[in-house]
Chains A and B, each alone.
Chain A
Amino acid sequence: MPLSRLLPIIPLAPACLLMGVMFLLPFGMVAVTAFWGQAPGSWLVDEAFTTRNFARILADPYFVLVIGRTLRIGVEAAVICLLLGLPVASVIVRARGQVRGLLLVLMLLPMVCGALVQTLGMLNLFGLAGVVNGALKQLGLIDRSIRFLGNETGVLLGLIQAFLPLMVLPLVTVLGRIPPDLPAAAASLGASRLRVLQRIMLPLAGPGIAAGAILVFSASVTSFVTPQILGQGHVQMFGPLVYQQAALVLDWPFASALCVVMLAALALAAALLAGVARLAARPRA
């Protein structure tokens, strides 16, 4: 290959190398480990080929349930983030200059402190001994704390709170590119508001919606800290389940198999989600 054709590829090399070493290689190892096992009475990995781990996952409704629940919570988080994020994004887009910058910074601020701090904040607010329960008790409205956490709603709240910026940012980008006069122009040509939304706004915002949805969905289904702390063991999701198997039960082959099944389900779900978003955004004839 002539050098002139190779040149543009060279700047890509570090990123490719990083992805290869940090993601593909370890994931390859996980995929291989998934087909290994443990000898009876030992925690050492036995490298003999087996499909036992996959059989165990598919045979036990519990694991399918956890994976299913994780995917469902991911979709719920993505949809709710979209509904909450659209108005926020339109306000940011319409704001001018410094106000816009300020709003964006405010939006991003929670992400800077990371999921752990946010989740612990939620715990202090909504926990059994938290601020909200304490206030309600002081007001004499309740005498026993309300269990806000340790259920799906609590986990979902935590995820939405943590990942909303992932939805708002791509929305701001796409909405910012739509000329402000465009909806008005469509309306002046007789299009109803619904029709403007359907044929003008959605198709133009589609890529942003899809990107945001995929980001929120992926972040939610792979999150560990939020379901671990806010689920309090009662809402088993994928992240804590894999942690339990890998770090506490020390069954790495089984934990690896769970990851492989999850990744397959995730790829399928993401493809489906992207397809739906694209379909919704396609201009109708």
Chain B
Amino acid sequence: MRLRSKRAWRAVRRAVFWGVLGLGLIGARPASAQDFSGKTLVVGVWGGDIERLIREHVVAALEKETGAKVELLLGGTGDRLAKIYAERTHPTMDVAFLNIYESPQALKDGVVDAPDPSAPYYKTIWPGMNNGCYAMSLNGLGIAYSKKLVTSPPEWADMWKPAYKGKIALPPYPGSEDDGVLAVAARLAGADEHSADKAFSKLAELKPIATTYTSLDQVFGLMGSGEVAMAPMIGGYAMAALKKDPDIGFVYPKSPGPVLVRDMLCLVHNSPNPELAKKFAALALGVELQTAYATELYFGPTNMNVKVPPAMANDVIASPEQVKSLLTLDWPYIITQRAAWTDRWNKEILGD
């Protein structure tokens, strides 16, 4: 009994000590900084290099400035969408990174907040890009290819050459990459994404699809072993990986031009920490992270003040002029077709 009370005393003393120390530290902060210690900002984001850069350039600074903790919840866009929709009335996530076409839908459904034109970080983004949420990065859908099997940088139409039959890999549907591929297929068939029949019948000519790839390592491995010749892919990821593998190439095709895709930063509606979320947005959309995105991941910056090194100008989409050369799809239409096209994809592209 005595032992226990002794232990309890020690615990209390320790708590008081740390508490006083903590208070002292907080007191030592500059008076202007708002105190968020004890709060945890939850950010849903992709893993890998994106996570690393956000940790290095945003999380560290934000935690230091505010005393709050930042928790990065890693996963795909689908995981985050499901979470913010399911928790619509009691969200636990504050910031969610979504894709170009899901963010307007999320705004329409009231699960994210509309971008605030008066926010300073709104104004540094190229005009017209904050659709639904804040534009985070610019990217194009191009073709990654095995240099062993494809000797010169391919055009979209080359995917349909008999030599590559059964050697085209596609990502899982639904997703913006596959919707981009469908839109390209429709254009090669003389139509556009509004003609689903033409898109699907053209794309079905690629059957059998070599594999549905879920990771870059997987598809690059298959390219290395000669089992996959080409795979439509978001440029940034592919070009960052090129450095590691001399046998893999990546090209932004010209006819039609690469499909524009965009990562968006969304502030979750009614989130537990709206002020912290805005501070996070300011840092994430700022010059430092966007420069790192461009130089390390080849993700095009949306912030007008970012200077892309001239040597990278051809690989990184960095200006509204470059965006104009890209193919912009009717994403609001495509998003309404998601359920129907998922059924068609299962049956017509993957089925026998």
Hey, which bits of chain A sit against chain B, CB under 8 A? 41-44, 60, 62, 128-129, 133-134, 144-145, 150, 232-234, 236, 241, 244-251, 254
Contacts and interface: CB of A to CB of B under 8 A. Distances in A.
30 contacts: A42-B108, A42-B109, A43-B81, A43-B85, A43-B105, A43-B109, A44-B88, A60-B343, A62-B346, A62-B347, A62-B351, A128-B227, A128-B228, A145-B227, A150-B211, A233-B212, A233-B350, A234-B208, A234-B212, A234-B350, A236-B346, A236-B350, A236-B351, A241-B346, A244-B174, A245-B342, A247-B82, A248-B175, A248-B342, A250-B82
A166 to B, nearest CB: 27
Given A42-B109, A43-B109, A128-B225, A251 B339 contact: yes
Nearest to A145: B227
A33 to B, nearest CB: 11
A42 B102 CA distance: 11
A80 to B, nearest CB: 23
B224 A129 contact: yes
B58 to A, nearest CB: 27
Given A128-B222, A129-B224, A129-B227, A246 B342 contact: no
Given A128-B227, A129-B225, A249 B209 contact: no
A129 B109 contact: no
A249 B346 contact: no
A251 B339 CA distance: 8
B325 to A, nearest CB: 30
Contacts of B336: 41
B210 A128 contact: yes
A271 B161 CA distance: 52
Interface in B303-352: 336, 338-339, 342-343, 346-347, 350-351
Contacts of B225: 128-129, 133-134, 145
B65 to A, nearest CB: 35
B19 interface: no
A217 B105 CA distance: 40
Q: Which residue, A43, A145, A232, A247, has most C-beta atoms of chain B within 10 A?
A: A43
Interface of B: 78-79, 81-82, 85, 88, 105, 108-110, 172-175, 208-212, 221-222, 224-228, 336, 338-339, 342-343, 346-347, 350-351
Contacts of B174: 244, 248-249
A249 B110 CA distance: 18
B90 to A, nearest CB: 15
A250 B227 contact: no
Contacts of B82: 246-247, 250
A62 B346 CA distance: 9
A142 to B, nearest CB: 12
Contacts of B108: 41-42
Given A44-B110, A248-B173, 19 more contacts: A42-B105, A42-B109, A43-B105, A44-B109, A62-B351, A128-B210, A128-B222, A128-B227, A128-B228, A129-B224, A134-B225, A233-B211, A236-B346, A236-B351, A247-B78, A247-B79, A248-B172, A250-B78, A250-B81
Contacts of B109: 42-44
A247 B76 CA distance: 10
A244 B212 contact: no
Nearest to A151: B352
Q: Which residue, B79, B88, B109, B222, has most C-beta atoms of chain A within 10 A?
A: B109
Q: Which residue, A44, A236, A246, A250, has most C-beta atoms of chain B within 10 A?
A: A250
A42 B173 CA distance: 19
Contact of A232 (B85, B212, B343): B212
Nearest to A60: B343
B270 to A, nearest CB: 15
Contacts of A232: 211-212
B85 to A, nearest CB: 6
Nearest to B110: A44
B342 A62 contact: no
Contacts of A246: 82
Contacts of B338: 249
Contacts of A248: 78, 172-175, 342
A62 B352 CA distance: 12
A24 B225 CA distance: 49
Contacts of A249: 174, 338-339, 342
Q: Which residue, B175, B222, B343, has most C-beta atoms of chain A within 10 A?
A: B343
A234 B350 CA distance: 5
Nearest to B79: A247
Contacts of A247: 78-79, 82
Contacts of A251: 339
Contacts of A150: 211
B74 to A, nearest CB: 15
B28 to A, nearest CB: 46
A233 B224 contact: no
A250 B212 contact: no
The 7 A-B residue pairs with the shortest CB-CB distance, nearest first, are A233-B212, A129-B225, A128-B227, A233-B350, A248-B78, A247-B78, A129-B221
Contacts of A129: 221-222, 224-225, 227
Nearest to A123: B218
